[in-house]
Structure 1
């Protein structure tokens, strides 16, 4: 995936699904269910049990063209392992050595930052977009303020983003939002979550609404 392709995917989908869980089989099923139900921009957090195997198996099932990435990429070793496992983009929680390593490997990067200094540092390291993280303590008003000195930067709020705040962040100028628990729920844990499909439909409707131009 080229950097422009990641930005275009975020702009078009408006939603990045984040899978983090404690059961590898359930996490894999969650990834495949998301794609099957139309949410086709997904990151698997490396904190997930068996995350690299989940990425490998999901890549084998979905094919080379699927927009499947790795999240919580902290180190250069994490970036290399994620790339080997089939991730086509990387998401970091902060400005770490993983940003430069991922770029060196040809992976576009969504780098975590929350302050202007961190945003500037992430851009210097080569981030293609900024993961505003954690977003919840800052809120949509903070995103509006942050965009004033960084009008050309693409922001993706992550962390505590639910259906209600997702609308507010998108209205405040976010390129997309990253959603984990409010979308995935307990699906990536033992026993799964029978309400996953219902939440997928709700978030898809939200994203499609945000993508429609207003009259």
Structure 2
């Protein structure tokens, strides 16, 4: 699986944090049905590995379900065993190194030019610029000036309103957590979650495509 191509094509990575594995899986299903087919379940979610395994078993193969907040080598190993499609880290963690050693596609967190280069040297398929909103889209454009070929995904503090600016600045995709999830991860409305997903896809020009890429 070519993680960079998948994220570039889909434009949106949903970041799922929930109060239980059941709620995490419900959010994944609602998002996938709304047309968002690239998702990560953060390991900060209670029972996250169980949620990843259940969501993977219940979802079509073209729905990508990654493990987020992969901090340790054990995290990477457990995520791979649970069937995660890819790993996401906040930085150059031991989990990042173990993910690449296992052949698990890696989205590695970074902020500075040095960190971006280190993440790519470590084998990351793409670099998660985090927290993106701290410096805004102009910072992403500035990063790309000396590093024009760096595959950057903007994550952190982004919503449907600001996402297009990050894509215009050169991000290949955007990752969105709380502004998209709202209260769904705490048992709130899944219909509301689906509505927010549709609005986000419309904002970034992804329409309401299904995970297989066919327009609805």
- What is the TM-score of this pair, normalised by structure 2? 0.91
The reply to whether residue 173 of structure 1 matches residue 170 of structure 2 is yes
Q: CA deviation at 1:195?
A: 1.2
String of CA shifts for 1:16-68, please: whole Å, max 9, x gaps.
Answer: 01101112211110001111121101110010111000001001101444311
What SS does structure 1 have at the residue aligned with 2:65?
strand
Question: What is the total number of aligned residue pairs between the two structures?
Answer: 207
Q: CA deviation at 1:98?
A: 1.4
5+ unaligned residues in a row in structure 2: which ranges?
A: 208-216
Indicate the residue corresponding to 2:211 in structure 1: none
The reply to whether residue 7 of structure 1 matches residue 4 of structure 2 is yes
User: How do residues 26-45 of structure 1 correspond to structure 2 at under 5 angstroms?
Assistant: 26-45=23-42
The reply to whether residue 17 of structure 1 matches residue 14 of structure 2 is yes
Distance 1:38 1:193, change over 3 A: closer
Indicate the residue corresponding to 2:181 in structure 1: 184
Q: Report if aligned partners of 1:26, 1:192 keep a CA contact under 8 Å in 2.
A: no
RMSD: 1.4
Indicate the residue corresponding to 1:53 in structure 2: 50
What is the alpha-carbon distance in structure 2 between the residues aligned to residue 127 and residue 202 of structure 1?
A: 30
What is the alpha-carbon distance in structure 2 between the residues aligned to residue 23 and residue 149 of structure 1?
A: 43
String of CA shifts for 1:69-100, please: whole Å, max 9, x gaps.
Answer: 11111111111011011101111001112122
- What is the TM-score of this pair, normalised by structure 1? 0.92
String of CA shifts for 1:115-171, please: whole Å, max 9, x gaps.
Answer: 111112111211111100011111100000000121111111111011122111000
5+ unaligned residues in a row in structure 1: which ranges?
A: 211-215
